[in-house]
Structure 1
Amino acid sequence: MEESSVFLLCLTANSGVPLYCRSKSSKQLTFSVIGSLNGVHMFANNQDVLLTSTRTENSRVLWRTFHDSINLIVMSCESNASDHSLNKLLENVFSAMVLVIGLDDLMNIKNVERLKKDFRACYKLIDSFLTESEKMGDLTQCVDCVIAHDAAILQECLDGFTQAAESEFGCLLTGGKVVVATEKWWRLASQDAMLLCWLVSSLSPHSSRDYPVYLPQGSPTVPHRLLTFQLVPGVDVCVLCGPSPSLQKVESELVERFWKPVLDPVKSCLRVQLRSFPASVPLHHGILGILLVNQDLNKSLYTVQVHPTEDMQRSDMKCILEQRRAALRSFYTLAMSRYFRPDHHDGKRDKRLGGHPSSEEKRDPHLMKKWRPTKANRRRKEMWWN
Structure 2
Amino acid sequence: MMLQQTGSVQLLCLTANSGVPLFTRGACKQLPFSIIGSLNGVHMFGAGQGVVLGGCETDRGGRVVWRVFQDSVMLIAVSAGRHAQQGSGSGDSGEGDFQMRRLLENVWSCMVLVLGQDELVSVRNVERLKRDLRSCYRLIDQLLEGVQGQQSTMGDLTHCGDCLLPTNPALLQEALDGFTQAAESEFGCLMVHGRIAAATDKWWRLAPQEVVLLSALARTLSGSASCDFPVFLPQGSPNVAHRLLRFQLLLGADVCVLCGPSPTLNRAESELVGRFWSPVVEALRGTLAVGERCLPGSVTLRPDVLAVLLINRESRRSVSCVKTVSAHPSPHPCSPPLPSKTRCWELLRLFFTFSATRYFPLEETPPTLALTPGQNGHGEDTESLQEDFVLGFFHQPLQCYLVTDECKCYGLQTGQHQLYLLTPLSVPTFALRSVATETLSALTAAKGF
Q: TM-score range by the shorter chain?
A: 0.7 to 0.9
Amino acid at match of 2:230: P
Q: Distance in 2 between matches of 1:319 and 1:228?
A: 37
> What's the TM-score once normalised by structure 2's chain length?
0.73
Partner of 2:23: 20
Q: Distance in 2 between matches of 1:156 and 1:324?
A: 35
Asked whether the equivalents of residues 325 and 338 of structure 2 are also in contact (C-alpha less than 8 Å), the reply is no
Amino acid at match of 1:10: C
Partner of 2:112: 98
SS in structure 2 at match of 1:170: strand
Partner of 1:310: 327
Decide which of 336, 339, 355 is 2:356's aligned counterpart.
336
Shift in Å, 1:35: 1.1
Asked whether the equivalents of residues 176 and 188 of structure 2 are also in contact (C-alpha less than 8 Å), the reply is yes
Partner of 1:154: 172
Per-residue CA deviation, residues 125-155 of structure 1 (Å, 9 max, x unaligned), is 1111111211100111010001111111100
User: Quick check: 108-117 or 69-78, which moved more?
Assistant: 69-78
Partner of 1:30: 32
Partner of 1:130: 144
Q: Distance in 1 between matches of 2:245 and 2:65?
A: 36
Partner of 2:11: 8
Shift in Å, 1:289: 0.5
Q: Distance in 2 between matches of 1:144 and 1:204?
A: 17
Asked whether the equivalents of residues 172 and 280 of structure 2 are also in contact (C-alpha less than 8 Å), the reply is yes
Structure number with higher helix proportion? 1
> What's the TM-score once normalised by structure 1's chain length?
0.84
- Tell which has more relative contact order, 1 or 2 (C-alpha 8 A, sep 6+): 1
Shift in Å, 1:350: 6.2
Amino acid at match of 1:273: G
Decide which of 190, 193, 198 is 2:211's aligned counterpart.
193
Asked whether the equivalents of residues 5 and 77 of structure 1 are also in contact (C-alpha less than 8 Å), the reply is yes
Q: Distance in 1 between matches of 2:138 and 2:53?
A: 29
SS in structure 2 at match of 1:82: helix
Shift in Å, 1:262: 1.0
Shift in Å, 1:203: 2.6
Shift in Å, 1:286: 1.1
Q: 1:303 to 1:78 in 2, by over 3 A?
A: farther
Amino acid at match of 1:62: V
Decide which of 64, 68, 73 is 2:67's aligned counterpart.
64
Shift in Å, 1:104: 0.4
Q: Distance in 1 between matches of 2:375 and 2:179?
A: 41
Shift in Å, 1:336: 0.6
Number of aligned residues: 344
Q: 1:152 to 1:311 in 2, by over 3 A?
A: farther
Q: 1:94 to 1:112 in 2, by over 3 A?
A: same
RMSD in angstroms over aligned alpha carbons? 2.4
Per-residue CA deviation, residues 283-326 of structure 1 (Å, 9 max, x unaligned), is 11110111011121010111113x688279xxxx9971121011
Amino acid at match of 1:31: F
Q: Distance in 1 between matches of 2:133 and 2:341?
A: 32
Partner of 2:51: 49
User: Quick check: 181-190 or 244-253, which moved more?
Assistant: 181-190
Q: Distance in 1 between matches of 2:134 and 2:163?
A: 28
Partner of 2:265: 247
Q: Are 1:320 and 2:337 counterparts?
A: no
SS in structure 1 at match of 2:201: coil
Shift in Å, 1:200: 0.6
Partner of 1:234: 252
Partner of 1:371: none
Q: Distance in 2 between matches of 1:110 and 1:257?
A: 46
Partner of 2:193: 175
Q: 1:228 to 1:136 in 2, by over 3 A?
A: same
SS in structure 1 at match of 2:298: coil
Partner of 1:86: 100
Partner of 1:208: 226
Identity of aligned residues (%): 51
Per-residue CA deviation, residues 215-234 of structure 1 (Å, 9 max, x unaligned), is 00100000000000000111
Amino acid at match of 2:136: C
Q: Distance in 1 between matches of 2:136 and 2:377?
A: 19
User: Quick check: 290-299 or 13-22, which moved more?
Assistant: 290-299
Q: Distance in 1 between matches of 2:6 and 2:268?
A: 48
Shift in Å, 1:333: 0.3
